[in-house]
Copies of this chain bind each other. A is one copy, B any other.
Amino acid sequence: MKIGFIGLGIMGRPMAKNLLKGGYRDLLVCSRTRERVDELVRCGAQAACYETVGRECGVVFTMLPNSPQVKEVMLGAGGVASFMRPGSVFIDMSSIDPTASREIAAQLAQRGVGMLDAPVSGGEPKAIDGTLSFMVGGPQELFERFKPVLETMGSSVIRCGEVGAGNTAKLANQIIVACNIQALAEALTLARRAGVDPGLVLRAVRGGLAGSAVLDAKGPMMLAGDDRPGFKIDLHIKDLANALDCAHSVGAPVPMTAQVLELFQWMRQHGEGEKDHSALVHYYEFLSGGSLTDAQQD
């Protein structure tokens, strides 16, 4: 089976490489950036245009920033979908609004093309290790058929419901991650201002109920002043805006999500949108003076 892969960003590149390593060697890749295509070609993939991908591939994966890009690539003039055969399948691993996932699935269904939405969590490190968590929506039969392919890129592949359920789960994921980052920033800043080494606090609390993947992954970055992405604030703003849209449309209260979105917006206004989302701690450093990095004893 030929596989198409569109979108070779921070996440897409290592994911496509893991497909190759997993034995899916008949891989056609597309990206607007020539160097990224060349990098995958050196790993064994073939460069291809949308038309070739659409005509030749039994399954097409995308890993793109948001729904406008997915719609453009798939459904725009000369988009991939216009070339896809009935019976072929589209698997969108981008994190987009669940409503957009359902709209795209409905249009593809008219052409006889199936769809799964399969966004991921875990960030670049887990993309590289092939240990991402996939949250999948779509028909059970398609899920079972493509689960082994997804497992070359992820260690957890869970179906949450019909199309859109994957992205709904991803919104839940992004709410938790964002709030956990803010909570960590707030807690470490309090400790620092109270004269206690935030590095020791991090070590002391990590084994208890405060322990989390965010604490383990982002705490050391906050302490080191390392704000290289990782996952950019601009992208987290996109996810939280989608979460608020979804929440308002279904009648779910999200006061904490709304608050952390405001802080991320402030970060973007201050020119930090391209930094890792853990740079949210800069907001607390700005308000309270001083930095976590300077406060450590070692």
Q: Interface on A for B, CB 8 Å cutoff? A: 98, 120-123, 126, 131-136, 155-156, 158-161, 165, 168-169, 171-180, 182-184, 186-197, 200-201, 203-215, 217, 243, 246-247, 250-257, 259-260, 284, 287-289
Contact = CB atoms under 8 A, between A and B. Distances in A.
Contact of A183 (B122, B160, B180, B213): B180
7 contacts: A133-B205, A161-B195, A165-B195, A165-B196, A172-B188, A173-B210, A176-B210
B253 A205 contact: no
Contacts of A203: 158
B253 A200 contact: no
Given A171-B190, A179-B182, A190-B172, A208 B252 contact: no
B254 A190 contact: yes
B288 A204 contact: no
B214 A169 contact: no
B172 A257 contact: no
Contact of A247 (B190, B204, B215): B190
Contact of A179 (B168, B172, B183): B183
Contact of A123 (B131, B175, B209): B209
B253 A284 contact: yes
Contacts of A169: 191, 196, 200-201, 204-205
A204 B193 CA distance: 37
Nearest to A158: B204
Given A168-B190, A186-B253, A189-B252, 8 more contacts: A123-B209, A156-B208, A161-B200, A169-B200, A209-B213, A209-B214, A209-B217, A211-B213
A94 to B, nearest CB: 16
Given A98-B194, A176-B210, A193-B252, A168 B246 contact: no
B168 A194 contact: yes
A155 B207 CA distance: 8
A178 to B, nearest CB: 8
A158 B191 CA distance: 15
A7 to B, nearest CB: 19
Contact of A180 (B168, B180, B254): B180
Q: Which one of A122, A180, A250, A251 has the greatest number of beta carbons of chain B within 10 Å?
A: A180
A136 B191 CA distance: 14
A3 B243 CA distance: 54
B190 A175 contact: yes
B250 A190 contact: yes
Contacts of A187: 171-173, 175-176
Nearest to A172: B187
A252 B288 contact: yes
A224 B37 CA distance: 48
Contacts of A200: 158-161, 165, 169
